Amino acid sequence: MTLRIPACLGLLLLAAPSLAQAQAPRAVIMEQSAGSRQEGWVRIQNTISYFVAGPSGEGEEAQKLRDRARRTIYEIAARECDLLREILAKECRIESVSSNMSRQYGQQQPEGFTINGSMNFQITLK
């Protein structure tokens, strides 16, 4: 039994430097993340997903439908800052907006697009 204790201590001493190295990058990443956000600002993230029925091919009507779907995502993002200021924010900044569209067609489903949008904001609380 006394042989097991020194062996365990030896393994622990060998593992300690590698554990310390493994934890160091995590602290650096946290410092960088905290540094990218200004003091007093809070991040808000919203996602939305919806379906728009209509032509989904390559024609002019399908292009208009895609444009309208993306425009809707951008309009929602713009109005979201207004809503946040009404409810809990003194200031609001749009950090990022993204949209992703997938074509839907087939015999058992209506033709159109599924649109997914994501938006990130930074606000200061009232």
11 and 54 co-located in one domain: no
Residue 78 tokens read as 């713009």
45 and 27 co-located in one domain: no
Find residue 115's DSSP bridge partners. 50, 101
Q: How many domains does the chain have?
A: 2
Comparing CA positions, the residue from 38, 119, 115 lying closest to residue 83 is 119
65 and 14 co-located in one domain: no
Of the pLDDT bands very low, low, confident and very high (cuts 50, 70, 90), residue 54 is very high
Higher pLDDT, 88 or 23: 88
16-45 b/e (C-beta count within 10 Å ≥ 16 → b): eeeeeeeeeeeeeeeeeeeeeeeeebeebe
Of the pLDDT bands very low, low, confident and very high (cuts 50, 70, 90), residue 38 is low
pLDDT of residue 124: 94
Of the pLDDT bands very low, low, confident and very high (cuts 50, 70, 90), residue 36 is low
- How many angstroms separate the CA atoms of 26 and 11, rounded? 24
Identify the domain containing residue 23 by its residue range.
1-36
pLDDT in tens, 91-104: 999 999 999 999 98
81 and 116 co-located in one domain: yes
